[in-house]
Amino acid sequence: MTGRSANGVVGPSRYEVGVTSITFTKNSETTGEPRPLNTVIWYPAVSGTGTPETLGLRDAEVYPKRFPWIVFSHGNCGRPTESTYLTTALASRGFVVAAPPHVGNTADDPACVANFADSFANRVPDVSFVIDSMLAETANGSSRFADRLRPDAIGITGLSFGGFTTLLAAQRDSRLRAAVSMVPGGVAFIDPGDITIPTMIIGGERDVVVGFAESQRAYERLAGPRFLVELFKANHLAVTDNCFPLCGPDDSIPQERAHTIVQRYVLSFFRHFLAQGHTSGAGTIRPVPRTRLLADRDRTPAS
């Protein structure tokens, strides 16, 4: 299959995309109350199984293979399904993507803005708990994900507040092997230590929410192989499915074009560092038109 597939993926795609939801319940770091994480999971699926819907083939059979996998962290007052152009593209190319809601800080929570500080304390624990839970699923013979996830190939990505979460989780959870942080903010508030795993930062030239300078600051904090992508004429929400209300003036990058660019960079990055298991180099990560790419692909942490 070439061109744009039924899943919206640019170029050849290998797998049909399945989608399911599993609720993993933990205790809140701040209140101790139950915190149900109704996690949306995209995965390579067996063709002809499941029920077609907007997000993929609902509850389809998982393709019989062990896959690298990624946690997706949504933005402030966002949703696990806010960047399906990317999560479905990853699944179609052989990755499993688990996207939890950061409870209290989603678009469906009336007090999502007021809950910012609470979410700050809970986000990385949410990520780590989802990793724990997904590893339990692949070890569970009765789960659809039994023996379908590679424990040595776990990545993370997210945008805005989720981009910040990505950076902080990359510092705190040693099981993560590669990270893509999109339009991150709050770089001054990540932990003092450096980020040593391979990491890509994607920022928008016209970002009026956090500013492209935040992406540059994030890049400067990376001690391992590092990549900085500047999307020309792109605002903060260019990396989501719908840029409203920050779509920008008429000469802004078209949303579909921004999606194509993000897919190409992210797929190449995770293919090299997760699927193939490299710890340096760049593989097929190359500059794409309408962007600027800064790369230090063989950088190693100072001893």
Q: What is the pLDDT of residues 190-229, one digit of tens each?
A: 999 889 999 999 999 999 999 999 999 999 999 999 999 9
pLDDT of residue 5 exceeding 80:
no
- Cβ count within 10 A of residue 186: 18
Place of tokens 């499915």: 241
Residue 214 to residue 207: CA distance in whole angstroms: 10
Residue pair 185/281 in contact by the 8 Å Cβ criterion: no
Can you tell me the distance from the alpha carbon of 289 to that of 285, in angstroms, rounded to the nearest whole number? Answer: 13
Share of the chain above pLDDT 70, in %: 95
Average pLDDT for residues 35-39, to the nearest whole number? 98
Among 173, 25, 149, 180, CA closest to 87: 180
119-150 pLDDT, tens digit each: 999 999 999 999 999 999 999 999 999 999 99
Task: Determine the average pLDDT of the residues in 13-19.
Answer: 92
Task: Say if strands 96-99 and 67-73 run parallel, antiparallel, or are unpaired.
Answer: parallel
pLDDT of residue 248: 84
Residue 193's pLDDT is 87
* 3.40.50.1820, 3.40.50.10150, 3.50.50.60, 3.40.50.2300: CATH of 16-296: 3.40.50.1820
* 9-18, 52-61, 241-250, 291-300: least confident range: 9-18
For 221-277, the pLDDT digits (tens) are 999 999 999 999 999 999 999 998 888 898 999 999 999 999 999 999 999 999 999
The more confident residue out of 4 and 124 is: 124
What average pLDDT does this structure show over 65-90?
98
pTM of the model: 0.95
Region 17-23: what's the mean pLDDT? 98
Given a contact cutoff of 8 angstroms between Cβ atoms, the answer to whether 236 and 77 are in contact is no
Q: What mean pLDDT, rounded, does the chain reach? A: 94
Q: What is the 3-state secondary structure (H, E, C) of the chain?
A: CCCECCCCCECCCCCEEEEEEEEEEEECCCCCCEEEEEEEEEEEECCCCCEEECCEEECCCECCCCEEEEEEECCCCECCCCCHHHHHHHHHCCCEEEECCCCCCECCCCCCCCCHHHHHHHHHHHHHHHHHHHHHHHHCCCCCCCCCEEEEEEEEEEECHHHHHHHHHHHHCCCEEEEEEECCCCHHHCCCCCECCCEEEEEECCCCCCCHHHHHHHHHCECCCEEEEEECCCCHHHHCCCCCCCCCCCCCCCHHHHHHHHHHHHHHHHHHHHHCCCCCCCCCCCCCCCEEEEEECCCCCCC
Q: Domain coordinates of the chain in residue numbers?
A: 16-296
Neighbour-count burial for 137-176, b at 16+ CB within 10 Å, e otherwise? bbeeeebbbeebbbeebbbbbbbbbbbbbbbbbbbebeeb
